[in-house]
Structure 1
Amino acid sequence: MCDDKPLNNTRVKLWDDDSGPDPDEELASTRTDAQGRFELQGSTKEISNIDIRFKIYHDCDDILLCQRRVKFAIPSKYINNEEKVSKWFDAGILNMALEYKGEERDCSLDSLDD
């Protein structure tokens, strides 16, 4: 949501945030639908634990250059060793008009792609 409106056509990406020498890895990407909903699933092969997050790139209530980027952790109970989802994580209703802890700006062209 952006205030009281659906945050439609907004980029959402699924990432494995790694620490150490292993680079972060984008697992999936999509755009929100007309109601602001999205669904993502991805897989990766890692020898260490994976730290999965989804990131929302948006311009809600924003006039500055680049996009606001907010990331949210996915609890480990929703992460499995299979390539198919066994239990979906429901992020609920998020209002992107709010400022979230750790929010950043993203000026990469990839975040602006259609």
Structure 2
Amino acid sequence: MKRYCLALDLVDDPAMMAEYEAHHQAIWPDIAASITGSGILQMEIYRLGNRLFMIMDTQDDFSFELKAQMDAANPTVQEWEGLMWKYQQALPMAQPGEKWVLMKKIFDLQESK
């Protein structure tokens, strides 16, 4: 199993952040199937202010590139992503068109022992 952590910002508007959270309390079944079908075993999203933090636990052979290809070929995922962009804004260090930015792991208690 591999773990990835990613960050993204939301538009800093309380009503829009509440809507975004509501969408994630009842994600579309096809979106959940798309997530698990790509090799993601567990996904959690946390929010502090307008900053989001995602933790993904994946199968060892998970590939961001393959996930992107699968998403591009799935009209429902494209519809969901289009809807989510309404609420999201790229981090200042993100590349053009990049949403979630992979974070660098800098500490692991288990590895420090």
TM-score normalised according to structure 2 size: 0.29
TM-score normalised according to structure 1 size: 0.29
Which structure ranks higher in relative contact order (CA pairs < 8 Å, sequence separation ≥ 6)?
A: 2
